[in-house]
Amino acid sequence: MRRGQLALYAVAALSGAALAASAFLLTTKGAPPIDAITAAVAPSLVLGFIGLASRYLCRAMPIHSSSRGTIAAAVAGSAAAASGLWVLIWKWWIALLGRPLAPDYTLLFGLGVLLYLATVAVQYLILELDASREAESEALRFRVLAREAELRAFKAQVDPHFLFNSLNAVASLCGSRPNEAREMAQLMADFFRLTLRIGARDRITLAEEIELVSRYLAIERVRFGARLATRIDVDDAAAACLVPPLVLQPLVENAVRHGIASMVDGGTISIDAWALDGMLRIEIMNPADPDREHQRGEGIGLQNARGRLVAINGTLDTHESNGLYVVTIEVPL
């Protein structure tokens, strides 16, 4: 609710309460009900606006940073002043109307004090609610900033890791297959040019991520030749989904290094992606030699991908069966 609307509601509520109470007091003094209500309308409306000014007092003296005694003294003084002004307005208004009304000004003064104090209590409550919402918003903002920093840290880890492995591959080809090493270096230059353009963004479409993966696989295909085959099947809905940049590349790199490279005849790396029930599901499969030496724990690439997905409420699971190593990713759409 906007503060302007809230202010109007406060004026209306206080004026209504003052109107009802003061009209009742006049009626008990023998005034006809219609005359009592008519006489009470203008002073009650004025009290509503006087009570609205209490917001400035409450904002000037926050309940958490001002002493209780100071607040009590200030509120009591302003309540007495506001109620005294209200009584003066009543006297002026009764004289202006020229009707035989005789309100009890002592009771009106007490009524004004009570209504003003009630207004101050409501104003402090509203300010506390505003402060609570601001604190929640600030906490959410810091959580978002922390998550973005975490994602940037993970992403910063990807590039040198991939560059280190790729340069090792080029170095291994330079002596025996210089032409292929040159081709691989050119493909790497194209790949890094694309990652610089896309990697600066927080999110890219899965279609763009698949293009990055395809370029990486083209680099590795120079080294492995016919031993490396690929199959990519991404439906249209999944292709339009947003993912962190370079989140699949370390997983496909693992599939090449720990899967294809360990197989004498190589094999096929399969990537399937589909959108279903509000989730993006991606599955990466590669052949795996069951007799290979298993490393302890997860490698850098898998840890990196898992951390980046957890930061966006995604999951990453792995399992191996029937000679296939499968990585399954789920990300909320």
Mean pLDDT of the chain: 76
Query: How much is the pLDDT for 271?
Result: 92
Section 34-57 average pLDDT: 73
268-283 residue pLDDT tens:
899 999 988 888 999 9
53-69 residue pLDDT tens:
777 777 777 777 777 88
Lowest mean pLDDT among 142-146, 273-277, 327-331: 142-146
- Write the burial class of residue 241 (CB in 10 Å: 0-12 exposed, 13-18 middle, 19+ buried): buried
Structure confidence at residue 35 as a pLDDT band (50, 70, 90)? low
Section 63-86 average pLDDT: 80
Section 80-101 average pLDDT: 78
> SS3 letters for 104-161?
CHHHHHHHHHHHHHHHHHHHHHHHHHHHHHHHHHHHHHHHHHHHHHHHHHHHHHHHHH
Tell me the three state secondary structure of residue 83.
helix
In the chain, pLDDT over 90 holds for what percent of residues? Answer: 4
* Distance (Å) of CA 315 to CA 24, 133, 155, 331: 67, 31, 17, 7
Q: What is the pTM of this model?
A: 0.52
Section 288-293 average pLDDT: 71
Structure confidence at residue 3 as a pLDDT band (50, 70, 90)? low
More confident residue, 3 or 34: 34
More confident residue, 248 or 36: 248
Section 181-191 average pLDDT: 79
CA 37 – CA 9 distance, rounded (Å) = 21
DSSP labels for 200-248? TSS-EEHHHHHHHHHHHHHHHHHHHGGGEEEEEEE-HHHHTSEE-TTSS
Domain boundaries, the chain: 3-138, 175-332
Query: How much is the pLDDT for 27?
Result: 59
Query: How much is the pLDDT for 104?
Result: 72
Query: How much is the pLDDT for 283?
Result: 93
- The CATH number that domain 175-332 falls under is 3.30.565.10
More confident residue, 241 or 45: 241
